[in-house]
Structure 1
Amino acid sequence: MVKIGRFVKRLKGLTDAVARFPLSAAFLLAGAVINAIAITSWTDQYYKPLMALCVGAVFAAVGQVIYERFFDKIAVRIGIMVASAVLAGGYYLAIGTAPEVTMEVAVKTAVAIFALLMVFIWVPSIRSRVTFNESFLATFKAFFISVFFASVLFLGVSLIIMATDQLLFRVDEDATAHAANIIYLLFATMYFLSLTPFYPGEKEKAASAEDAGAHEEALGKAISCPKFLEILISYIIIPLTAVFTIILLLYIVINIRGSFWSNNLLEPMLVSYSVIVIIVYILACNLENKFALAFRKIFPKVLIPIVLFQTIASVLRIGDMGVTHGRYYVIMFGVFAVFAGVVFSFLPARKNGIIALVLIILSTISIVPPIDAFNIAESNQKNRLEEILAKNGMLEDGKVTANPSVSDEDKTKIRNTFQYLRDMGYTEDIEWLKDKDLYAGFRDMFGFDEYDYEGETGRNIYLSLAEQESGALDIEKYDRFVMTSIWTYNSRSEESEICTIEKNGEEYKLMKTVGAGLATISLQDKEGNDIVSLSSDAMVERFKDRNSGKEGAGLEEMTFITEGEGAELCIVLRSLSIDNYQDSSTLNAELFVFIEISK
C-alpha cells in the first residue's frame, strides 16, 4: 500500500506539473509527435519545427517561473504565455529560411537554451530568501533524478521490446526510438518540471495556510542537500579535484616557458576543469563541513591564475589559427571563469547570483549579431584568407592564382582557413570562390594539395617492400629469424623481450625498446649488456628525403645491417610509416630480423 501511495503521489506530481506548465507540456507533446513522424519517415525536414517547439517549451517554463516570482494576476500569466508562443514562432521564422539545420543554428540554439536555463535557475533567487546556490542545487537534483528515472524506464522498455521481438512476434525496428522519444522528450522533461518547487513569490501571499505550508515543505526538501550528495561532493569529488589541481599546477609551472602556450589538447581540459570547479563550488556553498569550507576558501583563488593563463594562451593562438566560433567561446568562457573566481574569492556566497547574470549576458552577446561568435569568426577567417593569399601574390583583382611555392606555414593556414569557411558554408559570399569546385578543385585554385599531411619537421612517408623484387637476400650465415613490429607512439619508453637464443652454451636475448619517439632492436648477453643494436633513427635518416605518399621500395633500400662484437643484426623492413606532425614524429614499422652470433 505504501508503494502504491508513492506511485499515486508521483503520478499526481506529473499531472500538477502539466497544470503548472501547460504551455511547456503542449509544446513538448507537439514536439514528441513531430519527432515520432521524423523517426518514421527518416527525414530531417522536421528538425526545424522540433527545435522551435523545444525552444518554446523552455521559454514557457522560464515565463512561468517569472510569473510565480513576481506576479499573481491571471492576465499576466496569459500574457507571458502568449509572449512565449510568439518568441517560439519568431525563432522558427528565423531558422525557417535556412535550407538546413547548420552548425551555426545548432550552436546558437544550444546557447540560447542554456541561457534560458540559467534564467530559470536565477529568477527564484532575485531579492529572495532563497539563494542562487539553493536554486542551483534544486535544479541540479531535479535534472539528475529525472535523467536517472527516465534511463531506468527506457532500459526496462527496451528489454521488453527486445524480449517481445525475440520470443513472441516481430516488433517494428523503430519501436525503441519511439520509446526514447516519449520517455526522454516528454516524460523526463515533465518529471523535471514536477520536481521544481514553488519558490517564494507574490502568489504565496494570498495562498491558504495549508497550501503555503505544503509549498514550504516541498521547498525545504528541494533546496536541501541529501546525505549521499554531501558525501559524494565533500569526500570524493573535492579530494579528486584537489589532486587534479596539484597535477595541473605542476604542469603549468614546469611548462610555463614552453609547451603550455601551444598545447591544444590542454585547452579543453582546462575548460572542463573550470566548469567542474565552478559547479562544485556552487554546490559546496550549501554545505558546512570542513572539506566544503576549505574548498570554498582555496579553490576560487587557484582558479583565477589557471583560467587567466589559459585565456591568454587562447588569445595568442588567434595569431596562428584565427578566430573560430569555438575559440570565441573558449575565450569568452575564460573571461567569465576569471570573473567567477573573483566573485567567489571576495564576495559572500549569497551573492553568487551575480555570476548567473553575467553568464546570461555573455551567452546573449555570443548569439546576437553583429558581435556573435559566428559573425566574428566568419569575418576574421575571410580577412585572414585574403591577407595570406595577397601576401603570396595569389589574389589580385578579385581572382585567385595558384602558387605551389608558398611556404609550409602559409599552406597550413590557407588549408585550415579555407576548410573552416567551406565547412561553415561561408564561401558562398566570397566572389572569387563562386562557381569553383570547393573540393576537387583545391589544387587548381591554390597550386598544392588540400590534404598533403605535411608537418613542420618533414613529410609523412609510407613505404612497403616492393613485391616485384628481382634480387634475394643471402641468409645462410644467420642463426635465427624472427618477425616483429615497432611503434613509437607511446610517450613512455617500454622494453620487451622478442625471443631467447641459445648458441655455444650461451644464452642471448633479442630485446625491443619502443617509445618516446625512438625504437631500438638489440641483442643482449646474459648479463643484459647490448652486443649489437639498431635504432629507428637510422631508418628515419635514410628516408627523410623521400616524397610523401605511398610507394614501394627495393630490398636493398629496406635492409639495414649493423655489426657488434661477435654478432650481427640484419633488419629488413616489410613496411614503414613515418608520420611527421609539427614538432613530433611517429614511426610504425613491420620488420624481419636476422641474427648472426659468431663468438
Structure 2
Amino acid sequence: MNALTQSISNMIKGSLKALSAFPASIGAAVGLALVTLIRIQLDWPVLQPWNFLLDCLQLALATGAIFSLAAITAAQSRFGNRKAFLGANLLGAGSAVVTFLVLYLFSGTSAGGTQRAALSSLIVLRVFVVIFVSLVAFILLMDRSKENDDFAESFFMTHKAFFIALIYGLVLLAGTAGIARAVQSLLYREMSGKVYGYLATLVGLLTFTIFVGYFPDFKKGSEDDRREIAQKQPRFIVILFGYIMVPIVLALTAVLLIWAGKTVLGGTEVSFVRLSAISAAYTIGGLWLHAMLARHDSGVARVYRVVYPAASIVILLFEAWALVGQLRVSGLKVTEYAFLLVWALAAAGSVLLLTRKRDPHRIIAIIVCVLAVVYVLPFVGYRDLPVYAQSKRLEKLLVGEHMLAEGKITPASAEPSLDVRIAVTDAVSYLLRADDAKLPSWFPRDLDSESEFKAKLGFEKTWPGSEVPKMYLSTNLYMPATAIDVDAYRWAVSLHDAYGKESNSVTLQGDKGLYQIDWILSGNGVPTVRIMLDGRMIVEQSMDVYLQDVVSKYPPAESFSTEAPLADMSVKLDTPEIKALLVFDSVSVNVNTESNSTDYWMSLRSIYFSENP
C-alpha cells in the first residue's frame, strides 16, 4: 500500500513540477483537452458547423504545447533568468494564437462541395511539421554547454520520458476504462459511451504532464542530479539495442548489399515503391539506432557504428541508380520525391558519421528538420514540384506527337506508340489526382472519363500490360429503368426464385387449360424456357440463339457494364396457342480465352404471357 501511495505521490509531484517548469506548455495541453472534451460532448449534427473552428483550435494548441517546450528550454538553458522564462512562456502562448489565426483566417477550403470550411491535408501536414521541428528543437536545446553538447544522450532521455509516460498512461487508461465498464454493467446501464472518450482525454493530458515532468531542470547554472539518471540507459535497453536490434539492422544491410550486387549483374527487378519503403526504414531506423548506440562500448556497438555508414554509402549509389531509372520511366511523383529526400538524408548522415567524430547526430537532426520543412513548402514541396514535373512531362509527350499547340490539345491524327500512350495515361492520371494543385491552363479537368479521354486525345487510356491478351473477357448488359408496353399480354409471370436452382416452375389457369411454365438452366448457364398446356408441350426454346446474337452485337471485351435497349434485353415467343415476352434485367457472357470456355448468366425479370384467340 505504501508503494502505491508513493507512486501516486511521485506522479502528482511530477505533474506539479511540469506545471511550474513549463506553464505555457501545460496550459496549452489543458486547453487542447478541453476542446477535445467539447468535441466529444457534441453530437454530429450540432458539431458540424463548429468542426472547422475546433480543428483549428486543436492544431493551434498542440503547436503551442510543443513549441513552448522548446522556447522555455532555450530560455532556461541559455539565460536562466526570470525575465527570459516569462518571455519564453509568452512566446509559447503567442505561437498557439498565431497558429490559430493563420489556420482560421487563411487556411479554410470548401469541404465536399459545400460552403463549410475545412483544413486541407497539406495544411494539417504543415502544422505537424512545425510540431515536429519544435520537438527536435526541444531536444537540441537541452544541452547547456556548447563545448560539451551531446544530442544522443538528450535524444535517449526524450525516448525514455516518452515510454515511461506511455506506460503510466496505458495503465491508467486500462484501469479507469475497466472501472467505467464495471459501473456501466452493474450500476448504470444507461451510461453514455462518451464517458470512455472523456477518460481517454484526461488520461492523455495526465500522460503529457508525466512526460514533461520527467525531464530534469535545464536552468543555466543549476545542477540537477536527475539528469544523469534520466540519461542513463538501463541494462535491458543496452541488451535490446546492442544484441537484438543491431543484428537485425546488419542483416538488412547484408540484404541490401546483395541486392546491389544483383543490380550490377542483372538490373533491378524490385518495385520502386517497395524499394523506397525498405530504403526509408533502413535509413531512418539505422540513423536512429546509431544515435542510441553513440555511448555504447560493446564490440557489437562499435562494429555497427563503423559498418552502417560505410555500407550505406555503397547502398546509396545503387539506390541512386534505381531512382534515375525510375525518373526516366515515369518522371517525378510523390514517391520519387520522398525517396529523393530520404536518400539525401541518408547520404548526408553517412558522410557525417564517417567524417565527424564529435556529436554528428546534432547536425543530422537539423538536416532532418530542414528536409521536413522543404517537403511541405510551396513550389518545391511534395505537392507542387511533382505536379510541375508531370505537367512538363505530359507537355513534352503531347508536343512530340503534335497534339499540343498554342495552348490547346488536339486528338492524335494517328495512334501513338504503346510507350507514348502508357506515358500519357500515367501523367494524366497523376495530374487528375493532384488535389488543389495548380495545373496548366491547357489541361482538361474531365479526362478521368473514358469517353472524354478518347475524344480529346484520340486514343483510349493505356496501362502497362495492355498489350498482353486478356485471359478473361466478358459482355455485361443491363436494362435501365424504363416503361414497357404490356397491353398485348394478360399475365406477368415472375421466376426470380430461379437463382441458384437448376429449374423453376410456375402454373396458371387459362381459358384453354392449365399452363405450366418452366425456366431450366444448363451446366454452362444457357437457360431453356418450356411451356406445357394440360401436360402437352407447346414451347421448348433454348436461349442459345438469343445469346449468340448478343455476343455478335456486343463482342466480349474488358469487363464493363453496358446499357442495352429493351429490344436487346427481351425474347418474343409466338405459337398458335400463346404469345409471350421474356424480359431480362441483365445478361452476362464470360469467356475464358485460355481454356476456350464460355459461361452465361441471365437474370429474368418477368415473362409477359397471353393466350392467342
Normalised to the residue count of structure 1, the TM-score between the two structures is: 0.71
Residue aligned with 1:265, SS:
helix
Query: Which residue is equivalent to 2:525?
Result: 467
Change (3 A) 1:383 1:86: farther
Query: Which residue is equivalent to 2:285?
Result: 276
Q: Is the 8 A contact 2:176 2:199 kept in 1?
A: yes
1:111 is displaced (CA, Å) by 2.6
1:455 is displaced (CA, Å) by 2.2
Query: Which residue is equivalent to 2:173?
Result: 154
Q: 1:252 aligns with which of 256, 260, 267?
A: 260
Alpha-carbon distance in structure 1 between the residues aligned to 2:430 and 2:208: 35
Q: 1:182 aligns with which of 190, 195, 202?
A: 202
Q: Is the 8 A contact 1:164 1:170 kept in 2?
A: no
Query: 1:360-407, CA deviations, whole angstroms, 9 ceiling, x for partnerless residues?
Result: 333333334443333322322333333333333443333334459344
RMSD: 3.2
Whichever residue aligns with residue 425 of structure 1, its letter is D
1:161 is displaced (CA, Å) by 3.7
Query: 1:273-314, CA deviations, whole angstroms, 9 ceiling, x for partnerless residues?
Result: 111111111111122122112211222211222234224422
Query: 1:519-574, CA deviations, whole angstroms, 9 ceiling, x for partnerless residues?
Result: xxxxxxxxxxxxxxxxxxxxxxxxxx97432662469x7757xxxxxxxxxxx687
1:230 is displaced (CA, Å) by 0.6
Alpha-carbon distance in structure 2 between the residues aligned to 1:258 and 1:435: 38
Query: 1:151-175, CA deviations, whole angstroms, 9 ceiling, x for partnerless residues?
Result: 3333333333444444441332333
Q: Is the 8 A contact 1:311 1:335 kept in 2?
A: no
Query: Which residue is equivalent to 2:511?
Result: none
What pairs with 1:9-20 in structure 2 (closer than 5 Å)?
9-20=10-21
Query: Which residue is equivalent to 2:234?
Result: 226
Q: Judge which range, 10-19 or 97-106, deviates more.
A: 97-106
Q: 1:417 aligns with which of 403, 427, 436?
A: 427
Alpha-carbon distance in structure 1 between the residues aligned to 2:406 and 2:255: 54
Query: Which residue is equivalent to 1:595?
Result: none
Query: Which residue is equivalent to 1:552?
Result: 589
Change (3 A) 1:453 1:152: farther
Residue aligned with 2:142, SS:
helix
1:191 aligns with 2:210: yes
Change (3 A) 1:78 1:135: same
Change (3 A) 1:56 1:401: farther
Q: Is the 8 A contact 1:427 1:433 kept in 2?
A: no
Q: Is the 8 A contact 2:66 2:131 kept in 1?
A: yes
Alpha-carbon distance in structure 2 between the residues aligned to 1:88 and 1:417: 40
Q: Is the 8 A contact 1:261 1:313 kept in 2?
A: no
What pairs with 1:195-594 in structure 2 (closer than 5 Å)?
195-199=214-218, 201-204=219-222, 212=223, 215=224, 217-256=225-264, 257-259=266-268, 263-403=272-412, 405-426=415-436, 430-433=440-443, 436=446, 442=453, 444-446=455-457, 455=465, 458=468, 460-463=470-473, 467-468=525-526, 547-549=557-559, 552-553=589-590, 559=595
Whichever residue aligns with residue 195 of structure 2, its letter is A
Query: 1:342-361, CA deviations, whole angstroms, 9 ceiling, x for partnerless residues?
Result: 22123225343222222233
1:104 is displaced (CA, Å) by 1.7
Q: Judge which range, 64-73 or 175-184, deviates more.
A: 175-184
Query: 1:450-486, CA deviations, whole angstroms, 9 ceiling, x for partnerless residues?
Result: 6x7652552554357962278xxxxxxxxxxxxxxxx
Change (3 A) 1:370 1:76: farther
Q: Judge which range, 272-281 or 400-409, deviates more.
A: 400-409
Change (3 A) 1:461 1:154: farther
Change (3 A) 1:558 1:327: closer
1:442 is displaced (CA, Å) by 4.9
Alpha-carbon distance in structure 1 between the residues aligned to 2:131 and 2:208: 14
Alpha-carbon distance in structure 2 between the residues aligned to 1:89 and 1:322: 41
Query: Which residue is equivalent to 1:170?
Result: 190
Alpha-carbon distance in structure 2 between the residues aligned to 1:317 and 1:51: 37
Alpha-carbon distance in structure 2 between the residues aligned to 1:414 and 1:174: 51
Q: 1:118 aligns with which of 125, 130, 136?
A: 136
Change (3 A) 1:231 1:379: same
Alpha-carbon distance in structure 2 between the residues aligned to 1:102 and 1:224: 42
Residue aligned with 2:589, SS:
strand
Whichever residue aligns with residue 24 of structure 2, its letter is L
Whichever residue aligns with residue 313 of structure 1, its letter is A
Change (3 A) 1:339 1:157: same
Task: Tell me the number of residue pairs that the alignment of Structure 1 and Structure 2 aligns.
Answer: 476
Alpha-carbon distance in structure 2 between the residues aligned to 1:17 and 1:269: 39
Alpha-carbon distance in structure 2 between the residues aligned to 1:418 and 1:93: 37
Query: Which residue is equivalent to 2:505?
Result: none
Alpha-carbon distance in structure 1 between the residues aligned to 2:286 and 2:174: 32
Change (3 A) 1:411 1:16: farther
1:80 is displaced (CA, Å) by 2.6
Change (3 A) 1:357 1:293: same
Alpha-carbon distance in structure 1 between the residues aligned to 2:469 and 2:83: 71
Identity %: 21
Alpha-carbon distance in structure 2 between the residues aligned to 1:50 and 1:463: 52
Alpha-carbon distance in structure 2 between the residues aligned to 1:459 and 1:163: 62
Query: Which residue is equivalent to 1:104?
Result: 122
Query: 1:7-61, CA deviations, whole angstroms, 9 ceiling, x for partnerless residues?
Result: 2012110111122111111212222222233333444422232112211211111
Query: Which residue is equivalent to 1:21?
Result: 22
Structure number with larger C-alpha Rg: 2
Alpha-carbon distance in structure 1 between the residues aligned to 2:162 and 2:469: 50
Q: Is the 8 A contact 1:27 1:54 kept in 2?
A: yes
Query: Which residue is equivalent to 1:8?
Result: 9
Residue aligned with 2:119, SS:
coil
Q: Is the 8 A contact 2:422 2:463 kept in 1?
A: no
Alpha-carbon distance in structure 2 between the residues aligned to 1:558 and 1:302: 48
Change (3 A) 1:427 1:194: closer
Change (3 A) 1:431 1:370: closer
1:72 is displaced (CA, Å) by 2.0
Query: Which residue is equivalent to 1:59?
Result: 67
Change (3 A) 1:157 1:306: farther
Change (3 A) 1:113 1:312: farther
Alpha-carbon distance in structure 2 between the residues aligned to 1:65 and 1:119: 9
Change (3 A) 1:166 1:468: farther
Query: Which residue is equivalent to 2:87?
Result: 79
Q: Is the 8 A contact 1:72 1:203 kept in 2?
A: yes
Change (3 A) 1:554 1:128: closer
Q: Is the 8 A contact 2:375 2:382 kept in 1?
A: yes
Q: Is the 8 A contact 1:378 1:426 kept in 2?
A: no
Q: Is the 8 A contact 1:23 1:57 kept in 2?
A: yes
Alpha-carbon distance in structure 2 between the residues aligned to 1:163 and 1:442: 60
Alpha-carbon distance in structure 2 between the residues aligned to 1:417 and 1:260: 22
| Structure 2 gap ranges (5+) | 110-117, 475-522, 529-554, 561-587, 601-613
Normalised to the residue count of structure 2, the TM-score between the two structures is: 0.70
Residue aligned with 1:198, SS:
coil
